[in-house]
Structure 1
Amino acid sequence: MSAARVYVGLGSNLASPTEQLRQAICALQALPRSQWVGVSGFYSSESLLPGQPRYTNAVAAFDTTLAPLALLDALQAIENAQGRVRSERWGPRTLDVDILIYGEQVIDQPRLKVPHEQLHLRPFVLYPLAELVPEHFVLADGRPLAALLQACPFQGLERLPTTR
């Protein structure tokens, strides 16, 4: 199996979110059968639900030969190691790591949908992703990233100063 370029979304709004993302990046860099590519800047965004703290978000890229579900398991282990509690779907969290793109694959399985099914609705994913991909990037399902960005305003998003 040849390596696939994978993009994952990172988010946290509990327990020092910026530090949570930094720890997650270190864990991603140590994934087996994977080669680190890079990470976007960090962004602050409103929670999808009112009354929750703001999130810190980023997108990371790496090449991997891990199969999609094996990668999902590895990412969930990283979340769990950082205190992730899965009590409610949109609840606050120490760390959320979502597979956004897995090479050129379109995946529709009960545990994993790629490209991520909510990608087009999330400026906190689209704008960091745009930092890491070529200008005319097209998702495996045929949607151009530029069109998704145009339909999803930057509104409510703040790029944080670089302090890595």
Structure 2
Amino acid sequence: MPKVYLLLGGNLGDRNSYLSQARDRIAAQVGPIVRSSALYETAAWGNTDQPAFLNQVVEVWAEHTPEYILFLINQIEQELGRVRQEHWGARVIDIDILFYDDLAFQTPRLTIPHPRLHLRRFTLLPLAEIAPEMTHPVLGKSIVTLLENCPDELEVRPFTPVT
């Protein structure tokens, strides 16, 4: 079964609850989650005038094609209340496909590996936690090496939910 790595994030409402609901739906609709990173909090990237994000990377075993996974995760985002109003805007949930096995793939709607993952500390840090030695199929470097050389200087800190 293909290993698919997804980045979950959100910065509106009960961020932890939205990520939890997204994980439940991913497990039910996309495939079993076999590994999950810790939760991390970081300032918004791109459009910085918005609340901090909560992020997590999950590894999923999926039997679906990349295009169908994109359809499913867009459906999950919509079910959880995501409204797409502006690029890099605030949102209750965002789910990105980072990797699909070692596939390098591009269509007008989807690029795998995610084209900016190597530029984002908030993606690389949780990814390095669960797949440090995985090699980026286009750049030919491990996730740890990409993290060490990441130009993004935004602080990414572990997040502990309040119980």
Q: Normalising by the residue count of structure 1, what TM-score does the alignment of the two structures yield?
A: 0.91
The 2-side partners of 1:20 and 1:47 are apart by 17
Query: SS of 2:56's equivalent?
Result: strand
Q: Is the 8 A contact 1:9 1:97 kept in 2?
A: yes
Aligned residues: 160
- What are the ranges of 5 or more consecutive residues in structure 2 without an aligned counterpart? none
Aligned-residue sequence identity (percent) comes to: 33
Aligned partner of 1:28 in structure 2 is: 26
The 2-side partners of 1:155 and 1:14 are apart by 19
RMSD: 1.6
Aligned partner of 1:38 in structure 2 is: 35
Query: SS of 2:82's equivalent?
Result: coil
Return structure 1 stretches of 4+ with deviation > 4 angstroms. none
The 1-side partners of 2:32 and 2:20 are apart by 17
Q: Normalising by the residue count of structure 2, what TM-score does the alignment of the two structures yield?
A: 0.92
Query: SS of 2:32's equivalent?
Result: strand
Aligned partner of 2:128 in structure 1 is: 130
- What are the ranges of 5 or more consecutive residues in structure 1 without an aligned counterpart? none
Query: SS of 2:96's equivalent?
Result: strand
Q: Is the 8 A contact 2:26 2:32 kept in 1?
A: no
For the structure 1 residues 126 and 163, does the alpha-carbon distance in structure 2 shift closer, same or farther, using more than 3 Å as the test?
farther
For the structure 1 residues 22 and 121, does the alpha-carbon distance in structure 2 shift closer, same or farther, using more than 3 Å as the test?
same
The 2-side partners of 1:9 and 1:93 are apart by 14
Q: Is the 8 A contact 1:120 1:148 kept in 2?
A: yes
Aligned partner of 2:136 in structure 1 is: 139
Aligned-partner residue type, residue 35 of structure 1: P
